[in-house]
Structure 1
Amino acid sequence: MADSSDKTTAINPQLTDWTGPLGLPRFDLIRDADFAPAFDATLAEAERAVEMIAANPEPASFDNTIAALELAEEPLNKVAAVFYTLASADANPDRQALERDLAPRMAAHNTRIVMDPRLFARIQAVSDAPDALNPEQARVTELYLRDFRRAGAALTGPKRDRMAAIRERLAVLSNQFSQNVLADERDYVLPLTEADLDGLPQSLRDMMAAAARERGIKGYALTLGRSLIVPFLEYSARRDLREIAWRAWTGRGDGTGAGGDATDNRRIAAEILQLRHERAQLLGYADFAAFKLEPEMAGSADRVRDLLMQVWGPARARAEADAARLTEMLHADGVNGVLEPWDWRFYARQRRGAEHAIDPEEVKPYLTLDAMLGAVFDVAGRLYGLSFVPVAAPLWRPEVRAWDVLRGDRHMATFVGDYFARPSKRSGAWCSSLQVQRLMAPDQRAIVTNICNFTPPSQPGAPAFLSWDDARTLFHEFGHATHHILSNVTYPSISGTSVARDFVELPSQLYEHWLSVPEILAKHARHAQTGEPMPDALRERLLAAANADAGFSTVEYLASALVDLDFHDGPPPADPMARQAEVLAELDLPHAIPMRHATPHFAHVFSGDGYSSGYYSYMWSELMDADAFAAFEEAGDPFDPPTARRLEETILSQGGSEPADQLWTRFRGRMPGVEPLLKGRGLTAG
């Protein structure tokens, strides 16, 4: 780190003083070489600011302690927001090298803050005088006190030193895990010729030809981007190639990928689990699950397991029945033996076509990215009165887009969308923020990003086509964005999605429901060439087929969630891969359905601990999202204004200003049961 007295280090002002349209950073004026000196300077500045708070001789108050901490790291946070957006959405070797260097430094910096006994004492003093606080201040103080305790601020001596070392080591390991997965995804390519394309639709052939051109390969190329690998497994009539593709996709991070031993995550996962367990025990918890779940809505591993197993039985039964039908189709094709994992998607697609007259290629022309963005924005307008005005802004790639989010004439937020897959982007889809909303001075509105991995257009100027799953992902991530856009709290630490992990997926999963509202599809699902709306009959068949493969999707998800829970509930396994196999055997997982995320590429759990012992949270939130949409159905209108207003006022605007269960019950009046979830997934007879 640069000496804090060094005044000569040049910092690119665009990293801390954003001057682009709507207050965006000017990405065109930022170079990779700018980041290291900016981190040096702003880390030093943040440490000076925090030291002033800790050493303040005045008695602790909310303003001179909690509110001061809220803004103490603002320049550092701005530099980090720009850098980590680029590192995840558009990685390169320089950014990855700096990310590896920063991981222990940032962890050490954060550890020094949350384990500072002087700060802990000041926060405790503020908490001990609750009458001086308004409800929002009391909540923020409560969360600071909880977070410092859970970070180890009350530890002393060797335990304190060991906790600091664990936190730094976990940061290094999590970063390496993530970079290894990205390397295996980025570097794998399977060259193919025309003779290898039997069964593939023309649109997929075009995408694979584009992938080959991008990599300087003749013919066609299959990569591990989900937008290529999944349709290949659905359409390829070459069973041998499906197996090769499936093994490459599911082998990311296990030492068999493109990086070999250099990107093997198995030992990393084992060490992460051991360190998490030690961390929990240093804080007095029996295991990491007890530590991690304490502040969540679920509260305990037993409650999580109870929910997951209530769904497991019906889902597995459905999956086994589906497997029997797909096996019949396999045998009818003259293939003897059992249904394999690389067979499931191929025959499930054929079955959907036969039973529901649905061909994904027939649907895609109606689901262009621009049309579905129009649908996403239309729903936000009808529910919350929002409008979206495109803004020309210099962002990190030419295809990245920005919008000014308005309510009437009032600026509500800035929304940025980066939608297309590329080798430099980590897989999956996510919502994050360059800037969070706050009312404390200087007040600010959110700058929120949605980043996805959709297939880019086959050629410049052509439309980008989405699958039904892609369209649902678009709605899902924008549901997260509404949590930021509509946030209306004073303090940044409780803004937007700063809520319990098993509550954060409620707005996103709830928003998915509006994709299936017939009037939204009728208005926005229009043919890319003719402009004609999707025929009523096709729309009805599409919606009828929504749960056609619910057994598969539910089982693969639950398998991952239950393995994650088992890893953290009790002593950690010495060999996570062996324990993963044992858990799946105990569940009697159907042979042809793998867990959605095998341990070596389970980024939700091992690239940071956001979803560690918490992958269940998608299903916990689904308990609520099914019941929340039912509130609109009970009102007789999916856009019922009073219900939408109540949703915004009780949940979307509130961030983490109250415990999640209180926010939910203010909206719905009661906690939900599991039946709406089972019904929504088509796993009941009702």
Structure 2
Amino acid sequence: MQIKSISRNLIVAISMTAGTTTMAQQAPAEKNPLLQQYETSFKVPPFAAIEPAHFMPAFEAGMKAQQQRIAAIVNQRSVPTFQNSVVALEASGEQLRNVSTVFFNLTSANTSPELEKISREIAPVLAQHSDDIYLNAGLFAKVKKVYDQRAAAPLTAEQQRLLEKTYKAFIRSGANLDAAKQSEMRAINKELSLLTVRFGQNLLAETNSYELIVDNEADLAGLPPSLVTAAAASAKEAGKPGKWRFTLHNASVMPFLQYAQNRKLRQQIYTAYTNRCNNGDERDNKEIVAGLATLRAKKAALLGYATHADFVLEENMAKTPAQANELLNRLWTAALPVAKQEAAEMQQVMDREGKGEKLEAWDWFYYADKVRKEKYNYDAEAMRPYFQLENVREGIFAVAKKLYGITFTQLKDIPVYQEDVVAYEVKEANGQHIGVIYMDFFPRSSKRGGAWMTSYRKQAIDKSGRIAPVVSIVCNFTKPTATEPALLTPDEVETFFHEFGHALHGLLSNVKYETLSGTSVPRDFVELPSQIMEHWAFEPQVLQLYAKHYKTGQLIPADMVEKMKAASKFNQGFATVEYLAASLLDMNYHTLAAGQKIDPLTFEKEQMSKLGLISQIAPRYRSTYFQHIFSGGYSAGYYSYIWSEVLDSDAFAAFKETGDIFDPATAQSFRKNVLEKGGTAEPMDLYKAFRTRAPEVKYLLKNRGLDTN
């Protein structure tokens, strides 16, 4: 997943988090590291020197500086030009961007009660600041003047793209609305910013608050030794030595559901997982979900759109909800019968066990594993010893070098925001500096769940030359124990490759303007660079680079790889259906008409019933913990993973067709036409420049085992 980072230009899309501190908590400006030039290696943020009290003064200073620069643009008497209006606007928010990137990245990866308080308080302030920019009539007049005369201006293709993007940002923010509607827009944006923050904070608190404590060793039956050891360590850290502690973080709950023989405990933890923020307490998100859906629909209507999805998708490859739904429904039709067949196979296993039990949702992972072992003699847990984190990382670096000639060198003396974080300098084959990448791998209570890539500084080009990016990938992988290093599951390996693909998109960007840099592309295109990287993860010649037993150093056995390959399409009915159910739920929320009131649980149940979703499968994300769409920037965009999968499956086929998955010419074309271009052109044009044709869906269907031809 790629999360929206804060651009240096005025488009301060800060609908995420933030807050105010009292004057007593504020640090003097002259001692505020966020307001000084960073005197650090590669000019990264001086994390150790930054305290919560620094943020509000820095936010205020950044907003004030941007307001002053915008006032200068508005008050200038010169004829508006691309340079004195659009580029000046692009540069106006640099100081605020510096503060925002640090703050929002910390609230996602290493938050604290102090930062969360600031988030709640600053959110409406930043929303107002953004509105003050986009609804500034004088500023819009300058931009519009340049836009209206664009045909006669000697602009490059990238400059034309920036101009169009800037102009449309004003229109889509309400610049053409009358005063009354602009006032209404401001109120909506303020409320949206607050609800978004509350949703994410509630989910983090809810996830962290749950623990399943096991004190009877017999209840651990079936669990892998590595998970048992980790659970014992977790219990000890929580002040409960001699017991075993399981949580709702994926590295704990998912293997528990897959291996625990105790059915009641599986039901208990699964129910807790799927009812997060749905317990009628202070962390309940149902009212927030209803409020966000209602406000988004109302905002879209104000701007002249039929629905929020129409508003969002206008800027995406899909363009309309109908086109997005066409793909989702086509895949649903193919996947649902496969999922039903998978359920039937599991029920047969349960029937043979003779307990008279019927397959339930909390049984799926457990019996899927049994069927997988029975049909393919494949055990994913047996692969862990070959996937030591450090080896996987070196394998990923080797793949990047083979494809793009780039190298990675660990940086020892560089500021980090948490002791587990590591950083690397990225260089071209000739030694030229490309950028810096941070890697943050393990779960902690201060980090939200999932995995994502973000930026601390985006690539651009100024008078001094290329501004080198600083990116970060953040994960929640299985932690090392006292007796074992961090050993990844195959799913975690795939996640690592995925987020690294996003990082390459940010690192290899080669554009002039930050607004168009790296991952600043439509949601349904941004997942192409990440998902194509997944294809290399388990290719036999790639496994030879990193899949070595952590004790013996022996390469992963060929027969084990063959078993994994044979089982790769197993359970794809489930995987596809649970994802599509969430994607369609997202689209249903965001195609609501303005004024339509809903109860989230009733709405979700009705939509899943219409789809014919079987009871043994829940949407990958239920409404009250659907962070992607309610606090993660993917509203009306969760479909983008499968849309991008059409692209990445087709794109990887281009490598396979050459007979060499590292084919230099194909890799160079992908780098030049996709990774380096950012948002400087229409995504489909970029894709066609690489592939010489439009993508074909057949490769996705084949990869997922859903091809019925």
TM superposition score category, shorter chain reference: over 0.9
3-state secondary structure, aligned to 1:261: coil
Higher mean alpha-carbon deviation, 43-52 vs 619-628, is at 43-52
- Within a 5 Å distance, the mapping from 1:539-618 to structure 2 comes to 539-571=561-593, 572-608=596-632, 610-618=633-641
User: Which residue of structure 2 aligns with residue 631 of structure 1?
Assistant: 654
Q: Distance in 2 between matches of 1:334 and 1:394?
A: 59
- Which of these residues, 601, 612, 622, is aligned with residue 645 of structure 2? 622
Q: 2:696 aligned with 1:673, yes or no? A: yes
Question: Would the aligned equivalents of 1:498 and 1:655 in 2 still touch at CA under 8 Å?
Answer: yes
Point out the more displaced range, 143-152 or 572-581. Answer: 572-581
Measured after TM superposition, the shift of residue 437 of structure 1 is: 0.1
Aligned twin of 2:4: none
Equivalent runs, 1:3-152 vs 2, <5 Å: 9-14=29-34, 16-130=36-150, 131-152=153-174
For 1:568 and 1:685, the matched residues in 2 are separated by: 32
Gapped runs of 5+ residues in structure 1? none
Mapped contact 1:573–1:579 kept (Cα < 8 A): no
Q: 1:628-649, CA deviations, whole angstroms, 9 ceiling, x for partnerless residues? A: 0000011111000110111111
Q: Which residue of 2 aligns with 1:223?
A: 247
Aligned to 1:664: 687
2:35 and 2:283 mapped to 1: Cα distance?
Answer: 32
In structure 2, the residue matched to 1:239 is: 263
**Within 5 A, what are the aligned runs for 1:328-367?**
328-367=348-387
Structure 1 pair 87–154 and aligned structure 2 pair: CA distance change class (3 A) = same
Post-superposition offset of 1:523? 2.1
Query: Offset at 1:604?
Result: 0.6
Any conservation in 1 of the 2:251–2:478 contact (CA below 8 Å)? yes
Residue 437 of structure 2 aligns with which residue? 415
Q: Secondary structure at the match of 1:420?
A: coil
Cα offsets for 1:177-222 (capped at 9, x unmatched): 0000000011111111123211111101011112112211231101
C-alpha distance in 2, partners of 1:213/1:62? Answer: 61
State how far apart, in whole Å, the 2-side matches of 1:600 and 1:20 are.
41
Say what the alpha-carbon RMSD is for the aligned residues.
1.7
State the alpha-carbon separation in 1 of the partners of residues 451 and 665 from structure 2: 31
Match of 2:670? 647
Alpha-carbon deviation of 1:15? Answer: 5.3
Q: Determine the structure 2 residue equivalent to 1:325.
A: 345
TM-score normalised to structure 2 length: 0.94
Whether 1:458 aligns to 2:481 is yes
Q: CA deviation at 1:510?
A: 0.6
Question: Which residue of the partner structure matches residue 6 of structure 2?
Answer: none
Distance 1:462 1:203, change over 3 A: closer
Partner letter of residue 515 of structure 2? Answer: S
> Matched residue of 1:161: which SS?
helix
How far the C-alpha of 1:570 sits from its partner, in A, is 3.5
* Deviation beyond 4 Å, 4+ runs, structure 1: 1-4
Contact conserved, 1:11 with 1:38, CA < 8 A, in 2? Answer: no
Shift of 1:16: 4.4
Determine if contact 2:309/2:590 at 8 Å carries over to the other structure.
yes
* 8 A Cα contact 1:16 1:75, kept in partner: no
* 1:189 match: 211
Tell me the secondary structure at the aligned position of residue 637 of structure 1: coil
- How many angstroms apart in 2 are the aligned matches of 1:348 and 1:339? 11
Higher mean Cα deviation, 550-559 or 211-220?
A: 211-220
Equivalent of residue 202 in structure 1, options 204, 213, 225: 225
Q: Distance in 1 between matches of 2:562 and 2:90?
A: 50
CA shift, 1:396, in A, is 1.1
Q: CA deviation at 1:58?
A: 1.6
Greater mean alpha carbon deviation, residues 569-578 or residues 670-679: 569-578
1:371-382 matches, within 5 Å, as 371-382=391-402
Residue type matched to 2:200 in 1?
S
Partner deviation per Cα, 1:608-658 (whole Å, 9 max, x = no partner): 5x2111110001101110000000011111000110111111111000000
Q: Supply the AA of the counterpart residue of 1:250.
A: T
Given that 1:89 and 1:451 are in contact with CA atoms closer than 8 Å, whether structure 2 keeps it comes out as yes
Segments of 5+ residues of structure 2 without an aligned counterpart are 1-19
Number of aligned residue pairs = 679
What residue number does 1:406 align with? 427
Is the contact made by 2:73 and 2:88 (CA closer than 8 Å) also made in structure 1? Answer: yes
CA shift for structure 1 position 595 = 0.3
The separation in 2 between residues aligned to 1:243 and 1:273, in whole angstroms, is 31
CA–CA distance in structure 2, aligned partners of residues 37 and 233 of structure 1: 46
TM-score (norm: length of structure 1): 0.97
SS in 1 for 2:537: helix
Which residue matches 2:295? 275
Partner of 2:5: none
Q: Is the 8 A contact 2:398 2:545 kept in 1?
A: no
Choose which of 160, 169, 175 in structure 1 pairs with 2:197. Answer: 175
* Alpha carbons 1:2, 1:44 under 8 Å: kept: no
Shift of 1:441: 3.2
1:95–1:589 distance in 2 versus 1, CA, 3 Å = same
Equivalent residue number for residue 16 of structure 2: none
